[in-house]
Amino acid sequence: MRHQNEYRDPELACAQLQAIREAGKGLDRAVTLMEVCGTHTMSVYQHGIRSLLPEQVRLVSGPGCPVCVTPVDYVDHAVALARREATIIATFGDMVRVPGSSSSLLHEQARGATIKIVYSALDAVTLAEDNPASTVVFLGVGFETTAPTIAGAILTAANKNLHNFFVLCAHKTMPAPMAALAGDPDLQVDGYLCPAHVSAIIGAKAYQPLVDRFRVPCVITGFEPLDILQGVLMLVKQVVAGEARVENQYRRVVKAEGNQKARAILCRVFESCDARWRGIGNIPGSGLRLRDTYTRFDAARALPVEIEPVVEHPGCLCGEILKGKLRPADCPLFRTTCTPEEPVGACMVSSEGACAAEYKYGGQGLGAGC
Amino acid sequence: MKSEIILLGHGSGGKLSHELLDDLIVPILSGTEPRDQNDAAILARQQGRLAFTTDSYVVDPIFFPDGSIGSLAIYGTINDLAMTGAMPIAISVGLILEEGLAVNTLRTILEDMSAAAQKVGVRIMTGDTKVVPRNKADRIFVNTSGIGILLHDLEISGSNAQIGDKVLINGTIGDHGMAVMAHREGLALTSDITSDCAPLNSLVEELISGVGCRLHALRDPTRGGIATTLKEIAMQSEVEITLQENSLPVNPAVAGACAILGLDPLFVANEGKLLAFVAPDAAEQALAIMRKHEFGKASAVIGEVTSPNKGKVRLQTAIGGLRAIEMLAGEQLPRIC
Round the average pLDDT of chain A to a whole number and report it. Answer: 92
Q: Lowest mean pLDDT: which of A245-249, B39-43, B82-86?
A: B39-43
The pLDDT of residue B256: 86
Round the average pLDDT of chain B to a whole number and report it. Answer: 92
At A307, the pLDDT band (50, 70, 90 cuts) reads very high
For residue range B61-70, what is the model confidence (pLDDT) as tens digits? 999 989 999 9
Residue A104 and residue A343: Cα distance in Å, rounded?
11
Task: Compare CB distances from A8 to B318, B325, B330 and report the shortest one's residue.
Answer: B318
Q: What share of chain B is helix, strand, coil (3-state, %, to 5)?
A: 35, 25, 40
Q: Which residues of chain B neighbour A367 with C-beta distances below 8 Å?
A: 322
CB contact under 8 A, A352 and B323: no
Task: Compare CB distances from B319 to A39, A45, A47 and report the shortest one's residue.
Answer: A47
Q: What is the arithmetic mean of pLDDT over B152-163?
A: 94
Task: For chains A and B, count residue pairs whose Cβ atoms are closer than 8 Å.
Answer: 97
Dihedral through CA B12, CA B14, CA B16, CA B18, nearest 10? 110
For residue range B300-311, what is the model confidence (pLDDT) as tens digits? 999 999 999 889
CB contact under 8 A, A369 and B320: yes
Q: What is the arithmetic mean of pLDDT over A206-226?
A: 96
The pLDDT of residue A115: 96
The pLDDT of residue A73: 94
Strands B275-278 and B166-169, by their bridges, are antiparallel
What DSSP assignment string belongs to A237-290?
HHHHHT---EEES-TTT--TT--HHHHHHHHHHEEEEEEEETTTEEEEEEEEEE
Q: Are the beta carbons of B323 and B315 closer than 8 angstroms?
A: yes
| pLDDT top residue among B14 and A90 | A90
For residue range A315-370, what is the model confidence (pLDDT) as tens digits? 888 888 888 888 898 999 998 999 888 888 888 887 788 898 888 887 655 545 55
- Min Cα–Cα distance to chain A from B248, Å: 13
ipTM of the complex: 0.73
Evaluate if residue B127 carries a pLDDT over 80: yes
The pLDDT of residue B251: 94
Task: Give the residue from A67, A283, A42 showing the smallest Cα distance to A182.
Answer: A283
Q: Are the beta carbons of B278 and B211 closer than 8 angstroms?
A: yes
Share of chain A above pLDDT 90, in %: 70
Q: Which residues of chain A neighbour B326 with C-beta distances below 8 Å?
A: 359-362
The pLDDT of residue A3: 64
Task: Compare CB distances from A225 to B185, B262, B319 and report the shortest one's residue.
Answer: B319
At A87, the pLDDT band (50, 70, 90 cuts) reads very high
Q: What is the arithmetic mean of pLDDT over A292-307?
A: 96
Residue A309 and residue B334: Cα distance in Å, rounded?
32
List residues of B whose CB lies inside 8 A of any A CB. 185, 187, 246, 252, 255-256, 259-260, 262, 264, 314-326, 329-330
Look up residue A175 and give its amino acid.
P
Measured at the CA of B258, the angle between CA B256 and CA B259, to 5 degrees, comes to 65
The pLDDT of residue B333: 60
Within 8 A by CB and 6+ apart from A25, the residues are none
At B330, the pLDDT band (50, 70, 90 cuts) reads low
Evaluate if residue A233 carries a pLDDT over 70: yes
The pLDDT of residue A351: 75
At B156, the pLDDT band (50, 70, 90 cuts) reads very high
Task: Give the residue from B168, B190, B164 showing the smallest Cα distance to B179.
Answer: B190
The pLDDT of residue B300: 98
- What residue ranges in chain A does DSSP mark as E strands? 31-35, 57-61, 87-91, 114-117, 135-142, 165-172, 191-194, 218-220, 246-248, 270-277, 281-290
The pLDDT of residue A369: 52
A48 in contact with chain B, both atoms CB, cutoff 8 A: yes
Residue A253 and residue B45: Cα distance in Å, rounded?
68
3-state SS, residue B145: strand
Residue A272: phi and psi, rounded to 5, are -70, 145
End-to-end, the C-alpha distance of chain B in Å comes to: 29
- The residue of chain A with its CA nearest to that of B259 is A1
- Min Cα–Cα distance to chain B from A357, Å: 10
Cis peptide before A99 (omega within 30 of 0): no
Residue B69: phi and psi, rounded to 5, are -60, -25
Q: What is the arithmetic mean of pLDDT over B223-250?
A: 95
- Min Cα–Cα distance to chain B from A97, Å: 10
Which of A50-59, A303-312, B165-174 has the highest mean predicted lDDT (pLDDT)?
B165-174
Query: Distances in Å between the alpha carbon of A312 and those of A72, A79, A320?
Result: 8, 15, 14
A366 in contact with chain B, both atoms CB, cutoff 8 A: yes
The pLDDT of residue A260: 95
Other Cβ atoms closer than 10 A to A255? 14
CB contact under 8 A, B262 and A39: yes
For residue range A120-175, what is the model confidence (pLDDT) as tens digits? 899 999 999 999 999 999 999 999 999 999 999 999 999 999 999 999 999 999 99
